[in-house]
Amino acid sequence: MNNDSRPIGLFDSGIGGTSIWHAVHKLMPYENTIFLGDSAHAPYGQKSKEELLKLSSKNVEWLLKKQAKIIIIACNTATTNVVSELRQIYKVPIIGIEPAIKPAALRSKTGKIGVLATQRTLDSSKYIEAQKQFPQTCFINQAGHKIVPLIEAGKLHSEELFQLLIGYLTPMLEQSIDYLVLGCTHYPYLRPVLEKIVPKNVKIIDSGEAIALQTKRILEENNLLKTDQKTGEFLFYTNKETAVLQSFIEGFGRAEKIDF
């Protein structure tokens, strides 16, 4: 088997995509990785499709210059709006991420699923079509306005964010959801806060593990795995101040600022 030491490239609108990085690293600790957080342009959730394609293309091209062998769009908004266009433009394998509504819908006992995502993700044709696959399921969608800016500002455990989440989740809980789908890669970091709000019978689900498994499958199919069993090199870049990104990758590497 070929030993391909080129890195797995990941990009997000900010630091949220590190939740996907952690899942990828847990499954494939020997792979080299390079993460790009486009925090200077965060949040992506209310940008136009044209803006999203321009920013995403710029991110992909930057990662390709770093020799990325596969690219993970660690951003639900970018995936649901422009992944098809990116796959037409670039030859490198591109992995997208979407809200994990399928496993939630298949496992739900109440038939009512709460989905917390960005407005652009909820409005995307890709997401709307995905919901139609489960006509018997009631999806209670909530756009997470202000969540990403608060996380990017280092206010993950602030009272402001806690009260914001109570306002978003209360209507879902009143309708007896039994699954809460986190439809933005920033949102898995909300789990400790969310678990203080939602009862234990409501299961919280995100896409991290599924994306890691899909990435490994594509690497195997294309003979792109790093097989030398040597611990990987992990690089993290942001085009904003590094402190917040560093707090989410502590122990795995040093966040570097780039002009981008």
pLDDT-above-90 percentage for the chain: 98
For residue 119 the two structure tokens come to 């407005």
Confidence of residue 260 (pLDDT cuts 50, 70, 90): confident
Given the residues 10, 23, 55, 75, select the one marked as catalytic.
75
What count of other Cβ atoms lies within 10 Å of the Cβ of residue 18? 26
Q: Could you tell me where the DSSP H helices lie in 16-124?
A: 18-27, 49-65, 76-89, 101-107, 119-123
What is the pLDDT of the chain when averaged over all its residues? 96
Confidence of residue 46 (pLDDT cuts 50, 70, 90): confident
Which are the contacts of 49, defined by CB distance < 8 A and separation ≥ 6?
81, 82
Query: Is 138 one of the catalytic residues?
Result: no
Q: Is 128 helix (H, G, I), strand (E, B) or coil?
A: helix
Domains located in the chain, CATH noted? 8-97+208-257 (3.40.50.1860), 101-205 (3.40.50.1860)
Confidence of residue 127 (pLDDT cuts 50, 70, 90): very high
How far apart (Å, rounded) are the C-alpha atoms in residues 48 and 257? 26
pLDDT number for residue 54: 98
- pTM of the complete model: 0.93
Does 13 have pLDDT greater than 90?
yes
For residue 205 the two structure tokens come to 């689900």
Does 34 have pLDDT greater than 80?
yes
Confidence of residue 249 (pLDDT cuts 50, 70, 90): very high
Does 11 have pLDDT greater than 80?
yes
pLDDT number for residue 2: 86
Q: Is 10 helix (H, G, I), strand (E, B) or coil?
A: strand
Q: What is each CA distance from 118 to 23, 51, 201, 215, in whole angstroms? A: 21, 15, 25, 24
Given the residues 73, 78, 184, 205, select the one marked as catalytic.
184
For residue 109 the two structure tokens come to 């006992």
Query: Is 75 one of the catalytic residues?
Result: yes
| Sign of torsion over alpha carbons 156, 162, 163, 165 | positive
**214-231 tens-digit pLDDT:** 999 999 999 999 999 999
Confidence of residue 147 (pLDDT cuts 50, 70, 90): very high
